[in-house]
Amino acid sequence: MKPVAFRATLLNIIGNTLLFALKLAAGVMSGSIALISDALNSLQDIAASIATFICVKLSNTQADEGHPFGHSRAEPIAGLIIAVLAGILGFEVLRAAIERLIHGNGMEITVFSLVVPVVTMIVKGWMGWHFRKVGKDIGSPALAATATDSFMDVYVSLAVLIGVVGARLGYAFLDPVAALVISFWIMRAGYAIGMENIAYLMGQAPPPELMKRIKDAAMSVEGVKAINTVRAHYVGNFIHVEIHTEVDKDLSTYHSHAIGKRVERSIEAIGAIEKAFVHIDPV
């Protein structure tokens, strides 16, 4: 695992653990279902962070005889685990919020209960910015998913703040309503993260702009006359490319092979490309 990815993942685990403790304490002390739901959201984040840590570490394991192209598919699996956990948690929060709306329950909103969601918004906003930057720098879908989740938590905590402030002002129904908002937000985030990582696992083709960069990289190599076929797909969070290039039929096998190797290096210089398979077509 890259040191920067390790630090980011460790930060996520520690940060979410501290926030979970704060939210749970505030929720239990006040009786706020919104705060308790947000604490469960942090608990889900902790579990997801541990899954991310394990899968990111596994994805960086060197290729072996049983896995000749490495273990990069492990990282999108972490994103998929996050999505599944988010769906389960969202449903449980929804159920609890509906029960509170129907049956009601006494609450005692303290200053501590009001401060916790504000602190959470600040901390999660910074964490989201940090994880997005790191995820983009190292091309990590798991950390990108974690960044999205952190930003979502800012809005979740805003809903919590509205709920507890409303309850403090005498509008107790706003607390379970805030929990309802949290439940839908969590499930929506889980769906988006799940679909993105399923695409990685299913070997989806990269976007058109990247395909153009691949073609341009191949055509920039001296000796390449044209390109017949270009196919590319995700293998985990990396991309494998198969390309057929035309070269002069009168060139020797040695020179044709040398052109192919230069095309390979040119394509693999593109950040997201892990492996390029070049076929030479003499014409």
The string of pLDDT tens digits covering residues 21-62 is 999 999 999 888 889 888 988 887 887 777 767 766 666 666
Cα–Cα distances (Å) from 187 to 25, 193, 244, 250, in that order, read: 24, 10, 43, 61
Joined together, the tokens standing for residue 256 give 């044709």
pLDDT tens digits, 196-210: 888 878 878 888 899
Give the per-residue pLDDT at 274.
81
* Distance (Å, whole) CA 211 – CA 47: 36
**Could you tell me how far CA 93 lies from the centroid of its own chain?**
22
Query: Would you say domain 3-201 falls under CATH 3.30.565.10?
Result: no
Low-confidence ranges of the chain (pLDDT < 50): none
∠ at Cα 143 (12, 75), nearest 5°? Answer: 115
Domain limits of the chain?
3-201, 208-282
Q: What global pTM score does this model have?
A: 0.64
Looking at the structure, give the CATH architecture of the domain made up of residues 208-282. Answer: 2-Layer Sandwich (3.30)
